[in-house]
Every structure is written in C-alpha cells, then in structure tokens.
A = this chain, B = another copy of it.
Amino acid sequence: MIYQINMKFKTPTSTVLYSIEETIKAYRRLSQKNISEVIPDITVDQALILIVINQNDKTQSEIADLVFKDYASMTRIVNLMVSKDYLDKTVDAEDKRKTKLTITEKGKRVIKKLKPMITKNRETALAGVSEEEMLQLFNILQKITKNCQSNTH
C-alpha cells in the first residue's frame, strides 16, 4: 500500500492513523504467538502487566494508568491473574480503598521465562529501524497523542 499525500478526500485506509492500527495489530499478533510458545496460558496484556507490577510498587489504578488500561478492565485482568496464581491481591492496610498487588512465586518464575522472549519480540519488530528513526517515530507519536488528548476533554 502507498501513502497518499495529495488527495482531496483521504479515505480511511490511506491515513497514517490506519497504519498505526495495522502496526500495533501486527505487533500484538507476533507477541502473542511467541509468548504462547513460552507460557501457553498468558496473554500479551497479562504479561505486560506482570512485568510492570514487578518494576513498580504502585496501586492497581496507577498500574492501569501505566499500561493504558481502563480501571474496569484492570480489575478483570487482575482477577484472572490472581485465579491463575500469578498475582496476590490484598487491601492496603493504610488505605483500605487501595489494592496491593504482589507477584507470586509462580509469577516470578513466569517473568524470568518471559523476559527474553519480550526482548526478542521487540528486536524482531524493530529490526532495521535506526535509533534516529525510533526517536522520530516517538516524537511524532507524542505529538499526535497530545493533539488527541487536549481535544478529548
């Protein structure tokens, strides 16, 4: 497909935003396939959340913000991960509204297995993309994100 610059009416499928969707779906498909080879019963989202919790001592909603999850989604994903014995969920003693999330022993073993695969997925996806290109990509994406956010409310 060719990116069209000079069109009076840009069709949905000729827009960069369409390309962004395409890319993220391709990447998620690759990730899920490779993650399933290592740990069959975990999803891409669960894997990401597991690693982010491991690196950040934060409440459930703070983790949700980090991984761009809705709080309702987060509740459900966390409950699934608790039932699979990847996470422990307890109420915060200081503030009983808050939820403490900790990684179980099983969760820690899973993280060890996952990390190399996640690194590999990134390397696969970004093969041949220079540091300069990544920086360009990052900056343009941030610009678009800010445009959207400042107009969403």
Residues of A near any B CB (own CB < 8 A) = 3, 5, 9-13, 15-17, 19-27, 29-30, 33, 48, 51-52, 55, 66-68, 118-119, 122, 124-129, 131, 133-145, 147-149, 151-152
Which one, B3, B11, B21, contacts A138 given CB within 8 A?
B3
Instruction: Tell me if A148 and B125 are in contact (CB < 8 A).
Output: yes
Residue contacts A-B, CB under 8 angstroms, 20 given: A3-B135, A3-B138, A9-B119, A10-B119, A11-B55, A13-B66, A15-B122, A16-B134, A19-B138, A22-B145, A23-B142, A23-B148, A25-B68, A26-B145, A30-B151, A124-B148, A124-B151, A125-B148, A129-B143, A137-B137
Whole-angstrom distance from the CB of A114 to the nearest CB of chain B?
Answer: 11
4 closest pairs, A vs B, by CB? A26-B148, A3-B138, A30-B148, A23-B141
Whole-angstrom distance from the CB of A26 to the nearest CB of chain B?
Answer: 4
Which one, B20, B48, B67, B139, contacts A141 given CB within 8 A?
B20
Whole-angstrom distance from the CB of A2 to the nearest CB of chain B?
Answer: 9
| Distance between Cα atoms of A147 and B123 in the complex (Å) | 9
Instruction: Tell me if A24 and B20 are in contact (CB < 8 A).
Output: yes
